[in-house]
Amino acid sequence: MFAALGLSFGVLVAELGQAQAGSWLFTANEKKSKIDLKVTLDLGITKQSDSDSTRVEGTMIAELTPSAPPVETIRITSVNAQSTKSKLQFKYSFGPFGLLGKAKFSLSDLSIRIDPEDAGEEAQLDDEGNFTQEGNKPTLVGLVLYDVNVAGQKSKGEIDFSNPEDIPEDQEQEPFDIVGQLKWEGDLPVLKFDFDIEQEVESDEFEGITVLVSANGSVFAYGERLAGPPLLAIAPTGDSQLRLAWEAGDYILEAAAEPTFAEPETIVLTDGQAEHIIKPGGDHPHRFFRLRTP
């Protein structure tokens, strides 16, 4: 991992102490996190719903800018919210005394995920830490077992939400909003957010019946900083020189004439060195620097 900064001499591109983005890992508090799940069976002429609830465990990753309060923006880049119940169960009875039929569904190993490529846009925080991250595309994972005997139609089987072949392409999940709040307890952030997701499922095995899965939940999670690349700060010294500074560690400092670092020049550092003073030269009108681990 490395952090790279480019500069044109005489132009300040990064100051010592400049706010930097940081990655934080948030772990859900099971006692304060919950998903309410409702599954509706729609036969066209009638429909029935049943509900079940579960506590939530799991982790989220968020990019905070700056990485310490007051935070200006947040982007939740990864979510893995898992049900603490191994199985959620739903039962249905259609018509008076179930004369039109009955059905049973169960959902095992439920989890709601957001992968980095499906995460929404960066969101601004207001003065109270409230934010709305739009455009998140979730993946609903779980195994549905069904036993349907309705209006003379009998079917029994399973649907695996994690198997693309079990979910038709036209039933892809619609994006949803994450509505949340970021607070701080000392040096640690606390993340709270709500979500409302729907997944419609149709299957040839129970033709004419549409299954609508609605997940309404809230997550409460505590954060811890993720180890990231070393940060390199650059500032003028006041005598036509530049000072490169970083937190002491086992790093390699490199310079290059272009940002790809195709032919980097290694700047020799001594043990414990945490800064380097350079003076612009006419043979290097543009220089780029990066600090990386060996």
| pLDDT value at residue 144 | 86
The residue assigned the tokens 């729907």 is 198
The residue assigned the tokens 């009638």 is 46
Q: What is the pTM of this model?
A: 0.69
Output the CA torsion sign for 249, 255, 259, 261: negative
pLDDT in tens, 4-39: 444 433 333 333 334 467 889 999 999 999 999 999
Q: Which position has the higher pLDDT, 14 or 199?
A: 199
Residue 58 pLDDT greater than 50, yes or no:
yes
Q: Which position has the higher pLDDT, 285 or 153?
A: 153
Distance CA 47, CA 45 (A): 7
pLDDT in tens, 113-138: 999 999 999 999 999 999 999 999 99
Q: Which position has the higher pLDDT, 170 or 277?
A: 277
Q: Where are the alpha helices (DSSP H) in 150-240?
A: none
User: What residues does each domain of the chain span?
Assistant: 2-16+231-292, 22-225
Output the CATH code of domain 2-16+231-292. 2.60.40
Q: Region 157-170: what's the mean pLDDT?
A: 69
| pLDDT value at residue 189 | 96
Distance CA 67, CA 50 (A): 43
Helix (H, G, I), strand (E, B) or coil at 231: coil
Confidence of residue 228 (pLDDT cuts 50, 70, 90): low
Local structure of residue 19 (DSSP, 8 states): -
Peptide bond into 259 cis (omega under 30): no
Q: Which position has the higher pLDDT, 173 or 187?
A: 187
| pLDDT value at residue 2 | 41
pLDDT averaged over every residue in the chain: 82
Q: Which amino acid is at 287?
A: R
Confidence of residue 158 (pLDDT cuts 50, 70, 90): confident
Closest CA to 241 of 6, 21, 9: 9
Residue 244 pLDDT greater than 90, yes or no:
no
